[in-house]
Structure 1
């Protein structure tokens, strides 16, 4: 398989889509990785496996409709394997394994079918001290955008997933690209104040547009740099509640087609105004785990 990813919106040809098969029982509070999951565990509203299965299979149907080659992980019994974006990411022709929470090491083994089709020289493992997850990484042509947290209290935040050592490692792997990092707001306890990954508060869409949640960024100048990069008229700002519902975490099949949650009425109307076809799916149950459509997909090949 010849990997090829240079941006977020070129025509998708191959992707790993997560699975909700055998997702396991409702986790205990001590097993939760983010404040939104904790909220739903406490409230008795944590999503049921059959609902999540139906949601993710609706995405599989859309991908099939657009003739995208879809790989799925091998099912590990009683294990959450929905969010494939966390475990790895592709830039150019390189497959970079994430250094993720130690409890989740098994997930990369479950996509062995994919790894066996990739040139071993193109599979990269980062240094142990470089922590990173795919939701924080966005290839943008000559740029790589990376969400991070640089505070000395990094270790205190289970929601801080990508550190400055990982940003530096990416710059070393791709010396010809400009790696631009964005410090994100983190909270272990309040989901509406937590940007778990960069794609929880920002995502490019279409040819030159972007969805942005201003208050997900810790440093205003970095947010302003991003707005200037796209141009003010090309940026769609979402509210705190829309960020919480994960409006910036849709998924592009091409510059002209996106998969979006059916309840994102304001966003979906704006996307259609930009001439983009919106394939709506139900995804509100999966979103209770602080992840949505981009989180559930690991693109391997785009045109």
Structure 2
């Protein structure tokens, strides 16, 4: 397999889509990795496996409709394997394994059959102290955009997933790219004020357009840099509540086609005004775990 990922929107040819099958029992509050999951555990509204399986299969059907090669993880009994974006990411022709929460290390082994199709020299592992998840990493042509948290209290945040050491490591691996990092707002307790990853508050879409949530960024100048990069008229601003429901976490099949959650009424209408076909799916149950469509897909090849 010849990997090729240079942006978020070129025509998708191959992807790993996670699975919600055999997800295991509902986690306890102590086991929750993010404040949104914890909120639904407390409220008694944590998503059921059968609902999440149905949502993911709807996405699989859309991908197959557009003749995308879809890989799925090998099933691990009683284990959450929905969010494949967390465990690895592709930049150009390199497959980079994430240094992820220790409890989730089995997930990368579940896509070993995919990695076996990749030339071994193209599979990279970052230094042990470089923590990163794929939701924080966005190739954008000459740029490589990376979400991080620069606070001295990084270790206190279970929601801090990508550190400055990872940003430096990516700069070393891709010296020809302009690596730009963004200091994201983190909260262990309030999901409406927590940008778990960069794609929870920002994503390029279509031809030179972007979705963004201002309050996801701790540094005003970094938010402004992104708005200026795309141009204000090309940016769709989402509200605090829309960020909570993961409106920026849709997924592009091409510049002209996206998969989006069916309840994102305002966003989906805007996308259509931009000439983009919106393939709507139900994904509200999966979003209760603070992840959506981009989080559950790992693109391998775009044209």
Runs of 4+ in 1 over 2 A off after TM superposition: none
Distance 2:245 2:179 in 1: 28
Give SS of 2:59's match. helix
Give, in angstroms, the shift of residue 233 of structure 1: 0.4
Unaligned 5+ segments in structure 2 are none
* Aligned residue number for residue 56 of structure 2: 56
Give, in angstroms, the shift of residue 197 of structure 1: 0.1
Distance 1:176 1:39 in 2: 42
Q: How many residues align?
A: 303
* Aligned residue number for residue 171 of structure 2: 171
Deviations 1:250-275 (A, max 9, x none): 00000000000000000000000000
Distance 1:152 1:175 in 2: 26
Aligned-CA RMSD value:
0.3
Query: 1:4-23 alignment to 2 at 5 Å?
Result: 4-23=4-23
Q: Structure 1 length normalisation: TM-score?
A: 1.00
* Aligned residue number for residue 248 of structure 1: 248
Unaligned 5+ segments in structure 1 are none
Distance 1:30 1:125 in 2: 29
Deviations 1:76-113 (A, max 9, x none): 00000000000000000000000010000000000011
Distance 1:106 1:5 in 2: 25
Give SS of 1:113's match. helix
Give, in angstroms, the shift of residue 133 of structure 1: 0.1
Give SS of 1:54's match. helix
Give SS of 1:253's match. strand
Deviations 1:21-46 (A, max 9, x none): 10011101111100000000011000
Q: Structure 2 length normalisation: TM-score?
A: 1.00
* Aligned residue number for residue 89 of structure 2: 89
The answer to whether 1:24 aligns with 2:18 is: no
Give SS of 1:151's match. coil
Distance 1:18 1:129 in 2: 26
Give, in angstroms, the shift of residue 288 of structure 1: 0.1
* Aligned residue number for residue 135 of structure 2: 135
Give SS of 1:185's match. coil
